[in-house]
Every structure is written in structure tokens, then in C-alpha cells.
Amino acid sequence: MPALVTALMASARARCATCETPAEIIQIDQKRDVVRVRVGNRVDEFDHAVIAAGSWSRRVRVADGPVFPKRPIRG
């Protein structure tokens, strides 16, 4: 794993964030102050969610959220 990703994950975990990899997020929706994330057949609830899937982010369905155009960029 590149050093930057390792450092970012360590920093996030130090602030009580969770990271599950590999995992395919199927859907994200928000109900009041709760973000529901569907991973396969499981649904987890969080205060916040960050989509950091790069050019694969379009595959994540966000209920009532805009679809932003993505294109792969290297470098």
C-alpha cells in the first residue's frame, strides 16, 4: 500500500473512523442524522461517510444525491 494511503488510513483510524477493504459499497442513503451504507447484504449506520473510490465512485448509488461526472486522471 502506498505510504500516503497508509498514513491517511492511520490518521482516520486515530479519529475513530473505520475502513473496510476490500468491500463493495452498493448504496448510501441518509435518514436524518444517520448515513446508511449497504455493503452486500449488510447495512451499517454512521454519522458520516466518505466516498473515496476514485474513478469507480460513479458505481456507488447515493440516494437523492447528484451524480457527478468522473473521468480517470493519472498523476
Domain range list for the chain: 20-65
Looking at residue 75, its pLDDT comes to 58
Q: What is the mean pLDDT of residues 43-69?
A: 76
- Predicted local distance difference test score (pLDDT) of residue 70: 64
From CA 50, how far away is CA 3, in angstroms rounded?
Answer: 20
Under 8 Å between Cβ of 62 and 29: yes
What is the arithmetic mean of pLDDT over 24-53?
A: 86
Indicate the pLDDT class of residue 56, thresholds 50, 70 and 90.
confident
Could you tell me the pLDDT band of residue 10, with boundaries at 50, 70 and 90? Answer: very high
pTM surpassing 0.85?
A: no
